[in-house]
Chain A
């Protein structure tokens, strides 16, 4: 009895694309399970099959130990509730009546006042009381979704299946809905949510089931399921798996692909994240980029790697050696423009200044407001020296910020064309 849902070798014939193949999993009380997978993977089909709306050809779906096909509709609704992706809205029912429809499966046992009390308390919980007497079909898409969610909560089934409940919601309401499910699951219910937003799924769900072409690919903790290999394989090679810096959950980030359609090569010497915004804007302009020497785990290094910008990497906190400078120097010498970003300078990365001095066409970014830029007087001296001697006789320009750099590059691009 403890198992809310048992799925044993569930198969569904190939009626069009709505195919399921040999699915096995259980859901226990307290679990919030996300069902993820690309469009057309079979997420909705799975949910509809679990509630008995779609037939299946083989296997078993047990709700608290009883086969879904053997249960009467009302008995089933007492065990599992369902929120569909489809929205019907032909008739102007008031919101409270729509929410009260969730009580259908147990209306026999409760009075009208109790029913209305339950509707009220759920609407209050979702902060939707103001909508109570509005016409359902005049609400916005997101409001409708939330009201349907309220209807699901009123049904009070121990297992809730939701098909993309957050599809129409803004980020605030998305979190409100997921938090609500989280609370209910923490108090012993369970929910299974088909969801497209992998970040939300990873943040809120205990467990993810990844489906593709009607089969379970992985079933487990979010960080086990959402991997770079999986993302590249099933979703896109332009999305990257990272870690949500605020919650620690696994995070998937889209990365836009830039066309390199300008005939100009820019070398960027950066560090400590100083090159990210500049590199991004230059890529957008269509420039070809090369990166300087960056330390492992430096933000610039991660960014350049994600964008496939060639650069030279050294271990974290390692002092950049002369070898490294020699290795990188050809890129600097070939570049149409070398930009020295506004990064803190200390013994470890002093050699980056040496690298800059090799440039034929150097642009130095130095904001007026920068303080504490230099780790020690030696590094400041080296920086001063760069201007006095290191690049004697060469063209050096200065810019006070990224905007000035971009304007400069733009004018240069126009001059080229």
Chain B
């Protein structure tokens, strides 16, 4: 009786978590739209948004031109950027931790962040940023994907993918690229440095539709594919050999997950820069609440990742308004301190993270 009861609570816990997170997410989304240099009442926002959805942009603009302008040109793209980047980073973090069977793995384990940063920094230094606002994000995606491919081939040997070599190659390449970035920075102009900071720290300021719209369908598509990997990741938790014996195509699964996470991470970085700690921490939190089953972990991490970035951005904009703190700084501070608390608590309880 006791067993079935605890199983039942486990399932109820999962059932309630998703709607709860969704409601929190929607509330944070609306708050993000409301807070800023000009405060907008939530009801006005909801009104304008429903006009936009049901009656089209022209009607919405005519009904409330001021609110519409603020929302459409500044806050909505920024909030959407937060949601896309947060969920993409959290999902790829969850998938990476599952793949490496290590709760300390993170999406930039393949040196993707460093690759993205170098790509962007090169783009800025070479002056291509001036051609088109999308050139730098494009450079960052190309940079991160090239890095991922190099790591993949360094670690791949005779058809097998050795995960330990992925980590080592990722580390080596990250430090190599870090050196290259510093070298480029040495020769750069002062006005370029602010841009560089964005690409090494991550932020959401000045994100427009053009930054958000082109990676959006890709992110959504890759994320949907990633959600289908839940069972495979569960099996991998038993070790590659056992998973193979159970009937999983281990090699195929590893390649698919590495490609999905590389894609998701580099696209997220192209939107927001490499925001730290999300991919590491969010899956962790979700796992504590609903358990390690990747079938629930992946979708819940997506929602929780979006919430976390929305929340951190809100704090960053509100804390020392009218100035704002980069969202990457807030995630690092919030995430880092929470993580320290978690380590101490877990250590005291003598438990696994």
Q: Which residues of A contact B (CB under 8 A)?
A: 48, 51-53, 55, 72-74, 76-78, 80-88, 90-94, 96-98, 101-102, 104-105, 132-133, 137-138, 148, 151-152, 155, 161
**B234 CB–A CB distance under 8 Å:** yes
Question: Given the complex, which residues of B lie within 8 Å of A55, measured CB to CB?
Answer: 158-159
Instruction: Report the separation of the CA atoms of residues A57 and B248 in the bound assembly, to the nearest whole angstrom.
Output: 23
Question: Given the complex, which residues of B lie within 8 Å of A52, measured CB to CB?
Answer: 244
Known pairs A77-B246, A92-B291, A161-B245 / 20 extra A-B pairs, C-beta < 8 Å: A53-B244, A55-B158, A74-B247, A76-B247, A77-B247, A78-B247, A81-B246, A84-B239, A84-B241, A88-B101, A90-B102, A91-B103, A91-B237, A94-B10, A97-B234, A98-B238, A104-B231, A104-B246, A133-B7, A151-B242
Number of chain B residues close to chain A: CB under 8 A:
32
* B103 closest partner in A (C-beta): A90
Contact A132 B3 (CB under 8 A): yes
Interface centre among B7, B103, B159 (most CB of A within 10 A): B7
14 CB contacts below 8 A, A to B, read: A55-B158, A77-B246, A82-B242, A84-B245, A86-B242, A88-B242, A90-B97, A90-B101, A91-B287, A94-B10, A96-B7, A101-B246, A151-B238, A155-B247
Instruction: Report the separation of the CA atoms of residues A138 and B287 in the bound assembly, to the nearest whole angstrom.
Output: 16
A286 to chain B minimum Cβ distance, whole angstroms, is: 46
**B293 CB–A CB distance under 8 Å:** yes
Q: With A77-B246, A83-B242, A83-B245 known to touch, is A137 a contact of B235 (CB < 8 Å)?
A: no
Instruction: Report the separation of the CA atoms of residues A92 and B97 in the bound assembly, to the nearest whole angstrom.
Output: 13
**B39 CB–A CB distance under 8 Å:** no
Contact A101 B249 (CB under 8 A): no
Question: Given the complex, which residues of A lie within 8 Å of B3, measured CB to CB?
Answer: 132-133
Q: With A84-B239, A88-B238, A93-B292 known to touch, is A77 a contact of B245 (CB < 8 Å)?
A: yes
Contact A104 B247 (CB under 8 A): yes
Per-position contact with A for B5-48: 1 when CB-CB < 8 Å, else 0?
01100100000000000000000000000000000000000000
Per-position contact with A for B66-109: 1 when CB-CB < 8 Å, else 0?
00000000000000000000000000000001100111000000
Instruction: Report the separation of the CA atoms of residues A6 and B102 in the bound assembly, to the nearest whole angstrom.
Output: 38
Question: Given the complex, which residues of A lie within 8 Å of B54, measured CB to CB?
Answer: none
**B352 CB–A CB distance under 8 Å:** yes
* B241 closest partner in A (C-beta): A84
* B233 closest partner in A (C-beta): A91
Contact B245 A90 (CB under 8 A): no
B159 to chain A minimum Cβ distance, whole angstroms, is: 7
B351 to chain A minimum Cβ distance, whole angstroms, is: 8
Instruction: Report the separation of the CA atoms of residues A251 and B193 in the bound assembly, to the nearest whole angstrom.
Output: 76
Q: With A90-B101, A91-B103, A92-B352 known to touch, is A101 a contact of B235 (CB < 8 Å)?
A: yes
Contact A86 B239 (CB under 8 A): yes
Interface centre among B10, B234, B240, B287 (most CB of A within 10 A): B234
* A78 closest partner in B (C-beta): B247
Interface centre among B7, B103, B245 (most CB of A within 10 A): B245
Instruction: Report the separation of the CA atoms of residues A86 and B352 in the bound assembly, to the nearest whole angstrom.
Output: 19
* A134 closest partner in B (C-beta): B3
Contact B238 A51 (CB under 8 A): no
Contact B238 A73 (CB under 8 A): no
A35 to chain B minimum Cβ distance, whole angstroms, is: 16
Top 8 A-B residue pairs of the complex, sorted by shortest distance between their CB atoms: A77-B247, A82-B245, A91-B292, A105-B247, A84-B241, A88-B239, A90-B101, A73-B249
Interface residues of B in 275-334 (CB under 8 A from A): 287, 291-293
Interface residues of B in 193-240 (CB under 8 A from A): 231, 234-235, 237-240
Instruction: Report the separation of the CA atoms of residues A292 and B167 in the bound assembly, to the nearest whole angstrom.
Output: 68
Question: Given the complex, which residues of B lie within 8 Å of A148, measured CB to CB?
Answer: 238, 242
Instruction: Report the separation of the CA atoms of residues A83 and B287 in the bound assembly, to the nearest whole angstrom.
Output: 27
Contact B244 A104 (CB under 8 A): no
Question: Given the complex, which residues of B lie within 8 Å of A92, measured CB to CB?
Answer: 291-292, 352
Contact A51 B244 (CB under 8 A): yes
Contact A91 B101 (CB under 8 A): yes
* B253 closest partner in A (C-beta): A73
B337 to chain A minimum Cβ distance, whole angstroms, is: 24
